Amino acid sequence: MRISVVIPTHNEAQSIARVLADLPADIVTEVLVVDSNSTDGTPEIAAKMGARVLREFRRGYGRACLTGIANVQHPDIVVFLDGDYSDRPSELPLLLAPIIEGRADITLGSRVVVEQNHAALPWHQVCGNRLAAVLIGLLYRVQIRDLGPFRAARLDVLRALDLEQATYGWAVEMILKGARAGFRIVEVPVSYYPRIGTSKISGTVRGTIGAGWYILTLIARYYFWRRRPLPQHSA
Ligand SMILES: Nc1nc2c(ncn2[C@@H]2O[C@H](COP(=O)(O)OP(=O)(O)OP(=O)(O)O)[C@@H](O)[C@H]2O)c(=O)[nH]1
Ligand SMILES: [Mg+2]
């Protein structure tokens, strides 16, 4: 099995070395750091540690992940991981197992299951993600509890979903389209710690409200406004 790991970064010089060092080298085939305009030496550190670094000058978390998907070198599975050392790269096998065993097409690292994680997750993020997860359960019949960034999927599944969300929508698009296409989405409990360095997205109440509103409207939009027919997955 070939495993590619995609890590979006924007000024994560304080943490990127730890993230890369903790990746299980015997499992991972390729590490792709997709960097947007860092000014703190993040890409240089990543390159020195053996990662392939891509420059993506357009900002947006989803954009960086999409650029990663477009540039991975023929993996069977793609793993998405943040560069702030909130997730533990050593837990990557937990995300891979259900896919390798043929039980899942997409796996999502859920941060709300492990009790010790609660200090690292601000209440506004927990509430926003819970609300989105409940809505997804009702409208799309996928039972999840979180919208964590640490996740994995088969490359052919990602390609079939024709993902396009370049910002906050990334967190839900693969779940919504994946559910509608009949792919199996499995949640896996993972550890979560306070980030190293400064927040770029949802560390603030303002950021969470912006992201939350965007995500909730997208859940409704994809449900009511079936813009494009999606490929039906059999088996
Ligand atoms: N390439 C790229 N990476 C980004 C961009 N914005 C954020 N990132 C990276 O995406 C990852 C997630 O960003 P975070 O700031 O941790 O967002 P968050 O996890 O919602 O918020 P925290 O609770 O502060 O951790 C980090 O590795 C960031 O460096 C961007 O515009 N482009
Ligand atoms: Mg983070």
How many residues are given for the chain? 235
What pLDDT score was predicted for residue 203? 63
Task: Report the separation in Å between the CA atom of 181 and the middle of ligand 1, taken as the mean of its atom positions.
Answer: 28
Atom of ligand 1 nearest to the CA of 207: 20
pTM for the predicted model, two decimal places: 0.94
Pairing of strands 151-154, 77-80: antiparallel
Q: Which ligand is nearest to the CA of 211?
A: 1
Atom of ligand 1 nearest to the CA of 198: 24
Q: Which ligand is nearest to the CA of 83?
A: 1
Task: Report the separation in Å between the CA atom of 9 and the middle of ligand 1, taken as the mean of its atom positions.
Answer: 6
Task: Report the separation in Å between the CA atom of 70 and the middle of ligand 2, taken as the mean of its atom positions.
Answer: 23
Atom of ligand 1 nearest to the CA of 200: 15
Tokens 């000058």, located at residue: 57
Question: Would 42 be classed as within a structural domain?
Answer: yes
**Residue having the nearest C-alpha atom to atom 12 of ligand 1:** 82
Question: Would 41 be classed as within a structural domain?
Answer: yes
Task: Report the separation in Å between the CA atom of 157 and the middle of ligand 2, taken as the mean of its atom positions.
Answer: 25
Measured from CB, residues less than 6 Å from any atom of ligand 1 are 8-10, 12, 34-36, 56, 59-61, 64, 82-84, 86, 195, 199-203
Task: Report the separation in Å between the CA atom of 176 and the middle of ligand 2, taken as the mean of its atom positions.
Answer: 22
Domain count, the chain: 1
Q: Which ligand is nearest to the CA of 66?
A: 1
| DSSP conformation class of 185 | E
The range of the structural domain enclosing residue 100 comes to 3-224
For residue 63, what are the contacts with CB-CB under 8 A and spacing of at least 6? 36, 56, 166, 167
Q: Which two tokens stand for residue 120?
A: 């690292």
In CATH, what number is assigned to the domain containing residue 43? Answer: 3.90.550.10
Question: Would 229 be classed as within a structural domain?
Answer: no
Question: Would 230 be classed as within a structural domain?
Answer: no
Question: Would 234 be classed as within a structural domain?
Answer: no
Question: Would 126 be classed as within a structural domain?
Answer: yes
Question: Would 170 be classed as within a structural domain?
Answer: yes
Question: Would 194 be classed as within a structural domain?
Answer: yes
Taking only the tens of pLDDT, the chain with its 235 residues reads 999 999 999 999 999 999 999 999 999 999 999 999 999 999 999 999 999 999 999 999 999 999 999 999 999 999 999 999 999 999 999 999 999 999 999 999 999 888 888 888 888 888 889 999 999 999 999 999 999 999 999 999 999 999 999 999 999 999 999 999 999 999 999 999 998 888 776 667 777 788 889 999 999 999 987 655 555 555 4
Say if residues 8 and 86 touch (Cβ distance below 8 Å): no
Say if residues 169 and 218 touch (Cβ distance below 8 Å): yes
Task: Give the residues across from 151 on adjacent strands.
Answer: 80, 108
| DSSP conformation class of 117 | G
Say if residues 112 and 57 touch (Cβ distance below 8 Å): no
